[in-house]
């Protein structure tokens, strides 16, 4: 993203950049004993070193350090379970290996042969959803996976709403994140996918998982996190605590995890009709102010922005499509 030209014509909200907010007013300080690796402004080289250090601390907390230490060690072994023609693409259900002992099902939309290679997006559902709901135009997700596929994107969706840890010694958030990283592995295995143009997006829990995937997996070129940008203090009340695991709050807040995406493109969406107990724009703006610091330090402040729209807890489809078109198309 070199500018906010992608937003022209959307007409459904206000675009706020991290640069606009960075330095405007005061941000909350970290509570004693929490957020020891909070990002503060520094040189570009120091920012990159901070990102490496934070990821190195987070992998073992997520219980994924053994898996990320050996990339490519687990064959995908894909098996096609079904195929269904759709408007402008083929929708395939595929089973792949997530770990050496666990298989997962993914939903893959593959447009017909045409201009190659193609961009691709990992599409992520929220609580109560599944891999199919991101194709439902009548849902809160506005069918964004299907809309992208109709525009020529390859899309993939997995189930990440489980609240059970499947393998001993893992964590819930770690298993969710690893399954999404395996989706990226599968996209990279497809001959029609351009490995340099893979994005991710989601709503609510899906927005949270897009934050994690974009921050921890540097193969992601553009991240759209909808209905999630907030602070950990807010998530301690009136929310499912599945986001929380041992050692997380002592290390970072959500703004720091989002900061791991820098300088790659990041769009957050928050609605003005979100109630104060959920994901209000005021808290999102506080977090974006902190995220904007690292993008400014990279010299790419325009690459982090928030779309403030007039609705509530939904995907703003025109804004999401315009963002990915700008960031992932040639």
CATH at 312:
3.40.50.1820
Structural domain including 138 reads 5-328
Torsion of CA 256, 262, 266, 272, to 10 degrees: 40
84-100 per-residue burial string, b: 16 or more CB within 10 A, e: under 16: eeeeebebbbbebbbbe
Bridging pattern class, strands 103-110 and 154-158: antiparallel
Phi-psi region of 203 (alpha: psi -120 to 50; beta: other; left: phi over 0): beta
Residue 297 has pLDDT above 80, yes or no: yes
- What's the domain count of the chain? 1
- Going by pLDDT thresholds of 50, 70 and 90, the confidence category of residue 101 is very high
Q: What is the pLDDT of residues 47-64, one digit of tens each?
A: 999 999 999 999 999 999
Residue 13 has pLDDT above 90, yes or no: no
Q: What is the pLDDT of residues 25-40, one digit of tens each?
A: 444 554 678 999 999 9
Question: What pTM, to 2 d.p., does this model score?
Answer: 0.94
Question: What is the Cα–Cα distance from 172 to 62, expressed in whole angstroms?
Answer: 8
Query: For residue 327, what are the contacts with CB-CB under 8 A and spacing of at least 6?
Result: 1, 6, 199, 221, 222, 265
Question: What is the Cα–Cα distance from 136 to 329, expressed in whole angstroms?
Answer: 24
- Nearest residue to 35 via CA among 210, 175, 217, 231: 231
Question: What is the Cα–Cα distance from 46 to 50, expressed in whole angstroms?
Answer: 6
Res 5: pLDDT: 55
- Nearest residue to 208 via CA among 169, 253, 238: 253
Distance of CA 36 to the CA centre of its chain: 23
Question: What is the Cα–Cα distance from 321 to 310, expressed in whole angstroms?
Answer: 17
Torsion of CA 9, 13, 17, 18, to 10 degrees: -150
**Residue linked to tokens 């605590």:** 241
50-60 per-residue burial string, b: 16 or more CB within 10 A, e: under 16: bbeebbeebbe
- Going by pLDDT thresholds of 50, 70 and 90, the confidence category of residue 20 is low
């Amino acid at each position: 993203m070199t500018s906010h030209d992608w937003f022209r014509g959307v007409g459904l909200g206000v675009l706020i950049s991290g640069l606009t907010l960075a330095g405007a007013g005061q941000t909350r300080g970290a509570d004693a004993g929490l957020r020891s690796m909070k990002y503060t402004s520094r040189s570009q080289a120091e920012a990159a070193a901070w990102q490496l250090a934070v990821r190195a601390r987070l992998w073992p907390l997520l219980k994924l350090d053994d898996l990320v230490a050996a990339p490519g060690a687990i064959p995908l072994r894909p098996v096609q379970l079904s195929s269904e023609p759709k408007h402008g693409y083929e929708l395939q259900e595929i089973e792949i290996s997530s770990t050496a002992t666990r298989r997962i099902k993914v939903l893959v939309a593959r447009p017909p042969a045409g201009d190659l290679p193609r961009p691709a997006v990992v599409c992520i559902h929220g609580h109560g959803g599944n891999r199919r709901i991101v194709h439902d135009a009548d849902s809160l997700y506005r069918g964004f996976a299907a809309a992208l596929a109709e525009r020529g994107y390859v899309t993939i969706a997995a189930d990440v709403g489980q609240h059970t840890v499947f393998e001993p010694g893992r964590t819930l958030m770690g298993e969710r994140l690893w399954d999404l990283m395996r989706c990226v592995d599968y996209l990279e295995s497809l001959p029609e996918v351009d490995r340099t143009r893979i994005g991710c997006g989601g709503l609510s829990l899906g927005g949270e998982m897009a934050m994690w995937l974009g921050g921890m997996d540097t193969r992601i070129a553009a991240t759209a996190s909808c209905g999630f940008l907030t602070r950990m203090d807010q998530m301690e009340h009136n929310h499912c605590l599945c986001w929380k695991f041992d050692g997380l709050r002592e290390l970072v807040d959500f703004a720091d995890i989002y900061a791991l995406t820098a300088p790659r493109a990041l769009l957050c969406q928050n609605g003005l009709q979100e109630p104060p107990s959920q994901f209000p724009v005021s808290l999102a703006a506080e977090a974006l102010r902190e995220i904007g610091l690292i993008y400014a330090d990279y010299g790419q402040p325009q690459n982090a922005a928030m779309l403030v729209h007039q609705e509530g807890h939904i995907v703003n489809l025109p804004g999401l499509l315009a963002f990915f078109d700008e960031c992932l198309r040639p």
